Amino acid sequence: MDLRGRIADLMPQAREELAELVAIKSVADPRQFPPEECHRAARWVLDHFTALGFDDARLAETSDGSNAVVGSRQCARPDAPTVLLYAHYDVQPPLDDAAWQTPPFELVEKDGRWYGRGTADCKGNILMHLLALRALGDDVPVNLKLVVEGSEEQGTGGLEAFVVDNPDLLRADTILVCDTGNAAVGHPAATVSLRGMVNVVVTVEALTSEVHSGMFGGAAPDALAALIAMLAGLRDSAGNTTIEGLDNTRRWEGEPYPPEQFRGDAGLLDGVQLLGDGSVSDMLWARPSVTVLGIDCPPVVGSAAAIVPKAAARLNLRIPPGLAPDVAQKALEAHLHRTAPWGVHVTIEVEATGSPFRATIDGPAYRAMGAAMLEAYEKPMASLGQGGSIPLCNVFTDTYPDAEIILMGVEEPQALIHAPNESVDPREISAMALTEALFLQRYAAGTT
């Protein structure tokens, strides 16, 4: 039987296993869920990969107290390349329980999709790895390494530190970071670009304390008004981010994001316009974009007829590949200082920065993946960008500068990862498992 037929035969077992895994409430936050849940998920992953020949698989505790499952499996060919398979077993919390139409920690089939927290992100990708390897059986022509981490969603950086501390353990020629997805169901894609970011808190001070707006308003400078003017200066009337020194004219060269699909995905209200002069994909993946995340000022209830002496805002600047975070940070700081009116005092605290990521797309692994997707889906592989960051990708790039990193998986847009009613399309699990199996064969053949 061919690979496609074998995977089809293995799907009922994969569904049962995904249901077991989804039933484990592996939210890596001990304030919300008992840590035993994450331990159970780690053991589950460990047992299932050990059974597939990862003889040295073990739990490795990381600096944030979570456990990564690590292991390896050698093939007979001594000169075979090494491929590292990545996924994570922790999940987002359910968030709004009332918004779920099915129980969050139960796999429920509805209209052909499998619902439940983690069905796509990222437990569906764990099943994808298992299916691909089971379909290949003993006939896996590359050396494999495995890392399935346990705290990806918390951003506590456990695996990032682990990679830096144990570079040889996970060293590979190609890394499959399986925590993204296709452009749509049935439309295969690799994610080739991730945005970086700069988070700052800007504080504006104008007076030693509050003063009566009737007695002093009109002449006394208003810190909140100054802050509002500075924030308004971060964009033009079309919504383009206009920070001096940051290029906001670049174009996205990969797959476009259809505007109508984006309107629906983002939940735009009737008559509300999309931002910017560029296409949706230009705005998301090729240009800087700033968002005001929060403002400290008196809330409406409880506010008085007083001039606000001090106000602060937290800003999130997303930056595309090609723009270094320190350059973006300096430009943002200079812009805020320059646009501050009336000589108000401005202080800026940098909370966090992260580098953007761009995959290399001219290597043998990327070519083999393109061929595998074409065979599995009978459609060419598209290149997608992603607006969010995956800091681990930068750690992989820095630690293994020669490795090819490919981002892929079963998390297409309908999966609603991180939101209530997360789901996966089982056809994506089987087709991506087939893709992965074909990739391993073709990559080995191409590097002989």
Could you give the residue numbers annotated as active site? 90, 152
DSSP assignment letter at 53: T
Q: Do β-strands 306-307 and 174-178 pair in parallel, antiparallel, or remain unpaired?
A: unpaired
**Among 138-146, 179-187, 221-229, 314-322, the segment contacting Zn ion (CB under 5 A):** 179-187
Q: Which residues contact 378 (CB under 8 A, 6 or more apart)?
A: none
Q: Could you tell me the sign of the dihedral formed by the alpha carbons of 331, 333, 336, 340, in that order?
A: negative
Check residue 122 for interaction with Zn ion (CB under 5 A). Answer: yes
End-to-end, the C-alpha distance of the chain in Å comes to 25
Q: Could you tell me the sign of the dihedral formed by the alpha carbons of 393, 399, 401, 403, in that order?
A: negative
Q: Measured between alpha carbons, how far is 424 from 412 in angstroms, rounded to an integer?
A: 8
Q: How far is the CB of 417 from Zn ion (least distance, A)?
A: 7
**160 vs 179 by CB, closer to Zn ion:** 179
Q: How far is the CB of 205 from Zn ion (least distance, A)?
A: 40
Q: Measured between alpha carbons, how far is 135 from 241 in angstroms, rounded to an integer?
A: 48
The residue whose two tokens read 């991180």 is 418
**60 vs 122 by CB, closer to Zn ion:** 122
DSSP assignment letter at 74: -
**Among 39-47, 122-130, 298-306, 346-354, the segment contacting Zn ion (CB under 5 A):** 122-130
Q: How far is the CB of 88 from Zn ion (least distance, A)?
A: 6
Check residue 436 for interaction with Zn ion (CB under 5 A). Answer: no
Q: Measured between alpha carbons, how far is 151 from 87 in angstroms, rounded to an integer?
A: 11
**328 vs 408 by CB, closer to Zn ion:** 408
Indicate the length of the chain as a whole number.
Answer: 448
**Among 76-84, 178-186, 281-289, 433-441, the segment contacting Zn ion (CB under 5 A):** 178-186
Q: How many residues bind Zn ion (CB under 5 A)?
A: 3
Q: How far is the CB of 207 from Zn ion (least distance, A)?
A: 46
Q: How far is the CB of 359 from Zn ion (least distance, A)?
A: 17
Q: Measured between alpha carbons, how far is 325 from 317 in angstroms, rounded to an integer?
A: 9
**150 vs 278 by CB, closer to Zn ion:** 150
Burial of 267 (0-12, 13-18, 19+ CB in 10 A): exposed
Check residue 121 for interaction with Zn ion (CB under 5 A). Answer: yes
Q: How far is the CB of 152 from Zn ion (least distance, A)?
A: 5
CA atoms within 13 A on the CB side of 150: 31
**Among 16-24, 173-181, 387-395, 420-428, the segment contacting Zn ion (CB under 5 A):** 173-181
The neighbour count for residue 112, using CB atoms within 10 Å, is: 10
The neighbour count for residue 230, using CB atoms within 10 Å, is: 23
Q: Which residues contact 263 (CB under 8 A, 6 or more apart)?
A: 274
**37 vs 179 by CB, closer to Zn ion:** 179
**67 vs 143 by CB, closer to Zn ion:** 67
Q: How far is the CB of 23 from Zn ion (least distance, A)?
A: 18
**Among 50-58, 105-113, 115-123, 289-297, the segment contacting Zn ion (CB under 5 A):** 115-123
**181 vs 320 by CB, closer to Zn ion:** 181
One residue of 64, 173, 179, 428 binding Zn ion per CB under 5 A: 179
CA dist 134 to 52, 127, 388, Å?
Answer: 7, 10, 32
The neighbour count for residue 327, using CB atoms within 10 Å, is: 13
**Among 171-179, 253-261, 308-316, 435-443, the segment contacting Zn ion (CB under 5 A):** 171-179
Q: How far is the CB of 226 from Zn ion (least distance, A)?
A: 40
**124 vs 356 by CB, closer to Zn ion:** 124
Residue 57 and residue 49 in contact, taking contact as beta carbons nearer than 8 Å: yes
C-alpha of 218 from chain center: 47
Buried b (16+ CB within 10 A) or exposed e, 156-188: bbbbbebbeebeeebbbbbbbbbbbbbbbbebb
Applying CB under 5 A, the residues found at the interface with Zn ion are 121-122, 179
